[in-house]
Structure 1
Amino acid sequence: MTLTTTGARRRRSCPRYLFSTGCDMTRFPVRRLLALALASSLSLSAMAQTAEPFTVADIRIDGLQRIAAGTVFTYLPVERGEVLDQGRAGETVRALYRTGFFEDVRVDRQGDILVITVTERPAINKLTLTGNKDIKSEDLLRGLKDIGLSEGETFDRLALDRVTQELTRQYNNRGKYNVQITPTVSPLDRNRVDVTIDVKEGKAAKIRHVNLVGADTFDNEQILDSWESKESSWLSWYRRDDQYSKEKLSGDMEKLNSWYLDRGYVDFNIDSTQVSISPDKREMYLSTSVTEGEIYKISEIKVTGDTILPQDVVERMVIPKAGDTFSRVLLEASADAITNTLSNIGYAFARVNPVPTPNRADRTVAINLQVMPGPRVNVRRIVFKGNSRTADEVLRREMRQFENSWYSQAAIDRSTVRLRRLGYFETVEVETPQVPGSGDQVDVVFNVKETTSGSFVFGIGYSQLAGMTASIQLSQNNFLGGGNRVSVEAQRSDYLQRYAFSYVNPFFTDEGVSLGYNVWWRELDYSDFNTAQYNSTNAAVQTVLGLPITEHSSVSLLFGIDSNQIQAWSGYTPQSIVDYLDAVGQRTFHAWRTELGWARDTRNDFFMPTRGTYQRLGLETTLPGSTAEYYKINYEFSRYWQLSPAFVLRTGLDLGYGDSYGSDTVRNLCYTPPSLVDTDGDGKADTWVPGDAPSSPCLPDSSDYRKTVSASGLPFFENFYAGGTRSVRGFRDNTLGPRSEVIAGYRGQALGGSLKTVGQLEMVFPKLFDSNAARVSAFVDFGNVFNGVDEFDTGELRASAGVALLWRAPVGPISISYAYPFKKKEGDEIERLQFTFGGGF
């Protein structure tokens, strides 16, 4: 909120006397003037009794409580030894009133002693605001302080009256005409007061009808579509476009003017604008009368002035040509193109002034684009403000504008985007102040607001199934402010132990080459991911190297060694997994692993992008000599479309495919088959007992049964999964896709697949919250996993719709979603409310 404060001190002192100069007496009511006149006459009553001048031998000031006598003496126009007459006495009274410290000033004489008796104004002990929602308290208090109404200041009733009027005006501009501002002043001891300003905002008046009179060529709805002031509709609760505002209407008048000028109506004129309000001050009616005029053509268009660049190069940037219909928006676009080009080569203050010369006789306009480049500007310094945790070096290496080089608007804009994409800052703003005393130098100042750049997740619990569970995960994308990414994780329970560490230095070299390391170990007694049950013990050591190839693209190379020991049980683990392990002939898989990735990122923000594209293509493969030889290809795609300031559409796609590249492993094995055993002594076999482990080759005349098993395709422990918060919401994590046979009377277990197809359509509402740390979205998810390309079937895709809340909390990102699966099949595991803590968005 902005409160006008010009001349506040002078106007505050004016009512205390009537003989000052420079006081606008029309600002005060008559009754106030009469009271002030009476006060002035009473203040001089004692001096009127003794009209004779006298020499002041001493000065005494009575009635002071908070203000020091020395402070008062500095304002007195009379000193000891001077002669005081009626005129000087009046001047003394006016001077003390002018300070604003006193409610009453009286001048008296005791012999040759000048006695001044004052009544101090009270001090403001506490200032309280209640009921204000549209205007934040901190903004209000800042404006009140500018007027002189703040805690510890001298209380001025006139300032309080001005605040009441100003707040009423502010709320009226927001369409709230029922607002009630009630100030309350409570006296306290020691000449203090408490001031309470109670605001009853009321409801904003809604626009019921907008009428355009004289707009006959175009449909009114077509013109009003771009207006901010609109009639009430079912979306007005979110857009708030049906709330009247004087500023909004002023902007809409400019849009109306631009609408016609962009279509050649050079003589278009807005004749009048009327705003009426219903008696209950709840409904607004807008009416605008216009004169359209005739359509003009461009007779000539030329570029003049110091173009810096070759004339023909600049002329090619001009969009409209002679003979085209006049369009102001195309002229502005041409001027912007020329200005931007010049600003990118150092001419920061370049301007292009289109000068139209209309010829109303033949309805044509001659256009002269005057180029004024101004001086070529050099960047003296680049300054960062607000980065209390992040080192300047981390920000400086993202710069594309350099010190002691020519100014480039494109380089500054790109630097701003790179800072936003770091994920360390909630906001990034840039200023380019001119260096004092120098017309050809500027400083570039980046003002950043730091935010949480990591997450901390700690959990402890107990269940009959898992026993005691404890986990801790600490990740920091800006470790110690140096821009390095560090993550440490430890998790332990009756069924799972996991320890992991990762480190990435994104600027291992000054050229932007990144280097990272991953080390992890996991012992899993059975799957906690809603997938097939088997035990595994994993360990891996990996090195990751990243190399930027363009401003938006980079490639990465991963090389690592890992080991995966599997345990499976016949009768509990799906038979397909058991057969795969038997075909391989061992339970431990060793791999030399490499992954080549390519990524392109043009998003304008890390957490809350509104436009841009993100793509990543990765090829992962085990090298020859590994226990299992296979490859995996994964492609991720996201694009953000800013449909309006209130709506951002995100489209996403996640595809994955994997297969083996070596020859299939086939083995003929002999099993001792499982058998039914009588365990309760009732003479009936009731319990299955697993047979012996498979042996090869089969013995002659063996009672064992023979079976041929094979290991082909992508290994089961590398399958893709779908369902859950990061794929198809509304279905339990990892439960979509192929399932095993029924085991031990329970439904089949999720196996995953070698082909993944997942997509999203998401409408983000960035203006639903004032904070940049949270957003709400409505989404449609679809996808599934399949056992190879040949098994792909669009009829098997699942789909859901719902809403989600994403919040960048102090402990890390939090995602909460509620989804309704509208395309499902019997047997699908539904989980409508889902949430994650500490994961990425």
Structure 2
Amino acid sequence: MTRPLSRRMLAVALATALSSTPALVAVAQDTSFATATAPFTVSDIRVDGLQRISAGTVFTYLPIERGDTVDQASAGEAIRALYATGFFEDVSVGRQGDILVVTVTERPAINTLSITGNKDIKTEDLMKGLNELGLSEGNTFDRLDLDRVTQELTRQYNNRGKYNVTVTPTVSPLPRNRVDVTIAIVEGDAARIRHINLIGNEVFEEEDILDTWESGEHNWLSWYRRDAQYSREKLAGDLEKLNNYYLDRGYADFSIDSQQVAISPDKQDMFLTVGLTEGEQYTVSSVELTGDTVLPRERVENMLLVRADQTFSRSLLELSADTITAALANIGYAFAQVNPIPDINREDRTVAINMQVIPGPRVNVRRVEFKGNARTADEVLRREMRQFEGSWYSQAAIDRSKIRLQGLGYFDTVEVETRPVPGSNDQVDVVYTVNEVAAGSFVFGVGYSQLAGLSTQIQLSQNNFLGSGNRIAVQAQRNDYLQRYDFQFMNPYFTDNGVSLGYNLRWSEFDNSDFNTAQYSNTSGMAQAVMGIPISETDSITALLGIDRNQIFAYRGYTPDSIVDYIDAVGQRTFHAWRGEIGWGRNTLNSALTPTRGTLQRIWLEATLPGSTVEYYKINYNWSKFWPLSRHLVLNTRAELGYGDSYGDKFIRDVCFTPGSNVDHDNDPSTPPVFQPGPDPSEPCTPDSPDYARTIEADGLPFFENFYVGGTRSVRGFDDNTLGPREAAFGSAYLQPIGGSLKTVGSVEMFFPTLIESNAARVSAFVDFGNVYKDFDSWDAGELRASTGVAMMWRSPMGPISISYAYPIKKEDGDELERLQFTFGGTF
């Protein structure tokens, strides 16, 4: 696996290695000139041996001109000057009459430079470093430079624990004084840490100390955690953690006396030994605050986490200093310093602490700049800023601005830097450097999921249309159960104060028979307008108003009776609705793509307005919180609740049914498939007639708005949409999922570090639980289903890919299981 390496660090390391190269000394001289030729006046100068370099270049560096008098000293100076250019392997000076003859042998030019076999260090990083040192295609080749680079590369790999590495340079001569240079690297396996031994620890167990280290002894999980791979840099960091471990627990005299790294003869196993002296534990005798606190002294004193009679802790000391520094930075003191000065009394084993506050000048932000946004307009970034130009410096505003940029979803990384203005000690420039990701896509192709089967689609989406920050999406999709055409537009800054406005248009033909739901089909279309109103940095209100039309096709004997009865009671198969929605949301996530901390929650109410064919409402609540447990582990807890019901008058109708008759005998799609009325439609059916009469009604949440649970987006390990109430069609024994008006879903998911060092991939272990119920009175905790498993999500260039393997831990007979589930590609 390739590991990222700082190009600048690599270049500096290689440059350091080359800087130790001794300068070449000019030793090739024309002895006849040096010993037998008297000084003479140069009438002309001739240069022999040039192939690629022009004579003019030689004359530029040659310290001799026509008319000069040449002797042995000036000839030697000329040779040294030409050698210093680095262009020549050999230089000699001779005389032909009064003509000075300079004979050179050019160094060859590098035709191609290639590196093979490298995995731990990226090729582009190596090439960048070599290019900055002049070892690149088209430049002059220097064998000594190549040797030094070879030694430095070997050292770099040794620092990564790869002691079996071999670096073999090959130089292949070509015509016209050119060479091909190939550096072949055989990295070998990294040496594994077999044993770590701490000597001198008496108060704390070795196991507890080593739990904080990145390095660890080789075990069966080392292939994934990579903690057993030795690295000099990683060991240095672990020794610093060892020092902090004791200082945070009061051992102010702690010291690391020795460290020894031994390697086995086959260079495969490492043995680490660290000698230490714990010393005595100290307590805090007093804490004094001095200097100019700027803020009220009592307020600053409340920021001190260190108190008298506490066990001394350097981490609490540093946290107190950082808290005070941050408070001052938020009111303009960008360069404030808080220096903890300890006074150690070794006789009493106490530490008196003086917190010295040096606020420095109050700083104004001159400019806010952006770098790396090749596609995104500055205006899109600037409107997310909470730190303004010309205002006092505020670290909180700068950090908040960074989080808002990350929340856009346009950038993979966002870095911020504060640069002092030259010649001014009270002004700074704030520079945000972003790395843009593809904010849009054009897809023409196929995808597959276990739910939808083979699908074809044409999709054009742009979350950052022409760099304006507007979202536009157009899609045409077709698969086993769906034809769908969408258009979406959203302007997140319709007004300067952040009010967003968008439009949605959709038309679809939907066949539920292949969708693990009740078997009916529908044709629908809708148009909506959506508005978002920010009410704080993290909170917003959304409102929606739209109109839709839904035509249902259902047949008795094919569709569950309750659905056919609902349509019959309403008396028509086409449902028209004016739809409204209002919702509140809060988003404190630190990233829109791969969050590691923060909360996302939303509650919204949607309802059809009076005058719609059916009047009903649905209320939904989604909550998700990310908990960073460590530098690598992130816990996500998630809950989804939904409930719906009707609020208008229910539909009631008396119908008749003649056994054996065709319930939709006329096959007229313009009329709903109802029970046949009696001989005289104006008279009700009677039980003594050949017809059977009964009363049907339509009440509660319409069946086509029911919630469904099960599958990759709710409770993994169960087939999509199969949990909850089921019902058979008339004359059939097959139970079809019909959903319900109450949904409860929850999940606990742990995200782990991946083998691929990229924000585009995440691996997790999860526990999902949930179910859907017919109505609120039907809720029963004992009916909840649960599963556990592992999952991988990858934001690939072709679209998002999700794969999960789940094992149901709470199931019932008849549940449809699907342990391996995946989706490829995304939808709007």
Give the match for residue 127 of structure 2. Answer: 141
Give the 3 Å change call, closer, same or farther, for CA 213–157 of structure 1 in structure 2.
same
Q: Provide the C-alpha distance between the structure 2 equivalents of 1:723 and 1:143, rounded to a whole number of angstroms.
A: 52
Which amino acid counterpart does residue 753 of structure 1 have in structure 2? Answer: G
Matched, 1:780 2:789: no
Give the match for residue 30 of structure 1. Answer: none
Shift of 1:497: 4.2
Give the match for residue 827 of structure 1. Answer: 814
Match of residue 350, structure 1, among 336, 360, 363: 336
Alignment of 1:669-708 (within 5 A): 669-675=655-661, 692=676, 697-699=683-685, 702-708=689-695
* Contact kept in structure 2, 1:668 and 1:696, CA below 8 Å: no
Deviations along 1:266-285, one digit per CA (max 9) or x if unpaired, are 11111111111111111111
List gaps (5 residues or longer) in structure 2: 1-9, 664-672
Give the 3 Å change call, closer, same or farther, for CA 373–575 of structure 1 in structure 2.
same
Give the match for residue 758 of structure 2. Answer: 771
Give the match for residue 37 of structure 1. Answer: none
Give the match for residue 154 of structure 1. Answer: 140
Q: Provide the C-alpha distance between the structure 2 equivalents of 1:541 and 1:4, rounded to a whole number of angstroms.
A: 61
Q: Provide the C-alpha distance between the structure 1 equivalents of 2:208 and 2:288, rounded to a whole number of angstroms.
A: 33
Match of residue 309, structure 2, among 309, 323, 333: 323
Query: SS of the residue aligned with 1:449?
Result: strand
Shift of 1:339: 0.5
Matched, 1:713 2:700: yes
Deviations along 1:436-494, one digit per CA (max 9) or x if unpaired, are 222211111111111122344445699xxx99985433332222221122222334689
Give the 3 Å change call, closer, same or farther, for CA 468–15 of structure 1 in structure 2.
closer
Please identify, of 618-627 and 632-641, the stretch whose mean Cα deviation from structure 2 is larger: 618-627
Which amino acid counterpart does residue 703 of structure 2 have in structure 1? Answer: F
Give the 3 Å change call, closer, same or farther, for CA 581–10 of structure 1 in structure 2.
closer
Q: Provide the C-alpha distance between the structure 2 equivalents of 1:470 and 1:272, rounded to a whole number of angstroms.
A: 65
Q: Provide the C-alpha distance between the structure 1 equivalents of 2:633 and 2:174, rounded to a whole number of angstroms.
A: 52
Matched, 1:15 2:2: no
Deviations along 1:656-712, one digit per CA (max 9) or x if unpaired, are 1112234543333222333599xxxxxxxxxxx996368674245531101121222
Give the match for residue 757 of structure 1. Answer: 744
* Contact kept in structure 2, 1:807 and 1:813, CA below 8 Å: yes
Matched, 1:85 2:94: no
Q: Provide the C-alpha distance between the structure 2 equivalents of 1:520 and 1:143, rounded to a whole number of angstroms.
A: 53
Give the match for residue 666 of structure 2. Answer: none
Alignment of 1:351-366 (within 5 A): 351-366=337-352
Give the match for residue 486 of structure 1. Answer: 472
Give the match for residue 668 of structure 2. Answer: none
Shift of 1:369: 1.1
Question: Sequence identity of aligned pairs in percent?
Answer: 66
Give the match for residue 172 of structure 1. Answer: 158
Deviations along 1:267-304, one digit per CA (max 9) or x if unpaired, are 11111111111111111111111111112222221111
Shift of 1:738: 1.4
* Contact kept in structure 2, 1:655 and 1:755, CA below 8 Å: yes
Q: Provide the C-alpha distance between the structure 2 equivalents of 1:493 and 1:248, rounded to a whole number of angstroms.
A: 51
Matched, 1:124 2:110: yes
Shift of 1:559: 2.1
Give the match for residue 807 of structure 1. Answer: 794
Give the 3 Å change call, closer, same or farther, for CA 359–470 of structure 1 in structure 2.
closer
Deviations along 1:518-553, one digit per CA (max 9) or x if unpaired, are 222333455442211223232323222211122111
Q: Provide the C-alpha distance between the structure 2 equivalents of 1:7 and 1:242, rounded to a whole number of angstroms.
A: 30
Give the match for residue 337 of structure 1. Answer: 323
* Contact kept in structure 1, 2:522 and 2:550, CA below 8 Å: yes
Give the match for residue 253 of structure 2. Answer: 267
Match of residue 306, structure 1, among 292, 313, 317: 292
Please identify, of 121-130 and 764-773, the stretch whose mean Cα deviation from structure 2 is larger: 764-773
Q: Provide the C-alpha distance between the structure 1 equivalents of 2:512 and 2:122, rounded to a whole number of angstroms.
A: 54
Which amino acid counterpart does residue 479 of structure 1 have in structure 2? Answer: F
* Contact kept in structure 2, 1:813 and 1:840, CA below 8 Å: no
Give the 3 Å change call, closer, same or farther, for CA 617–808 of structure 1 in structure 2.
same
Give the match for residue 237 of structure 1. Answer: 223
Shift of 1:11: 6.1
TM-score if structure 1 supplies the norm length?
0.91
Give the match for residue 206 of structure 1. Answer: 192
Match of residue 602, structure 2, among 599, 616, 638: 616
Please identify, of 85-94 and 205-214, the stretch whose mean Cα deviation from structure 2 is larger: 85-94
* Contact kept in structure 2, 1:308 and 1:373, CA below 8 Å: yes
* Contact kept in structure 1, 2:561 and 2:730, CA below 8 Å: no
Give the 3 Å change call, closer, same or farther, for CA 236–5 of structure 1 in structure 2.
closer
Q: How many residues align?
A: 804
Query: SS of the residue aligned with 2:328?
Result: helix
Matched, 1:443 2:443: no
Deviations along 1:43-81, one digit per CA (max 9) or x if unpaired, are 232224414222222221110111111111122222222
Match of residue 532, structure 1, among 494, 506, 518: 518
Alignment of 1:410-449 (within 5 A): 410-449=396-435
CA RMSD of aligned residues (A): 2.6
Which amino acid counterpart does residue 719 of structure 1 have in structure 2? Answer: N
Q: Provide the C-alpha distance between the structure 2 equivalents of 1:473 and 1:744, rounded to a whole number of angstroms.
A: 42
Give the match for residue 797 of structure 1. Answer: 784
Matched, 1:510 2:496: yes
Q: Provide the C-alpha distance between the structure 1 equivalents of 2:551 and 2:461, rounded to a whole number of angstroms.
A: 28
Q: Provide the C-alpha distance between the structure 1 equivalents of 2:682 and 2:750, rounded to a whole number of angstroms.
A: 59
Shift of 1:749: 1.6
Give the 3 Å change call, closer, same or farther, for CA 800–477 of structure 1 in structure 2.
same
Give the match for residue 61 of structure 2. Answer: 75
Which amino acid counterpart does residue 519 of structure 2 have in structure 1? Answer: Q
Match of residue 283, structure 2, among 290, 297, 312: 297
Match of residue 4, structure 1, among 10, 13, 19: 13
Alignment of 1:398-417 (within 5 A): 398-417=384-403
Match of residue 500, structure 1, among 480, 486, 495: 486
Matched, 1:568 2:568: no
Alignment of 1:592-741 (within 5 A): 592-675=578-661, 692=676, 697-699=683-685, 702-741=689-728
Match of residue 273, structure 2, among 266, 272, 287: 287
Give the 3 Å change call, closer, same or farther, for CA 11–473 of structure 1 in structure 2.
closer
Shift of 1:813: 2.9
Q: Provide the C-alpha distance between the structure 1 equivalents of 2:823 and 2:398, rounded to a whole number of angstroms.
A: 37
Which amino acid counterpart does residue 661 of structure 1 have in structure 2? Answer: Y
Which amino acid counterpart does residue 692 of structure 1 have in structure 2? Answer: Q
TM-score if structure 2 supplies the norm length?
0.92
Shift of 1:645: 2.7
* Contact kept in structure 2, 1:768 and 1:776, CA below 8 Å: no
Matched, 1:477 2:486: no
Which amino acid counterpart does residue 129 of structure 1 have in structure 2? Answer: I
List gaps (5 residues or longer) in structure 1: 18-39, 678-688
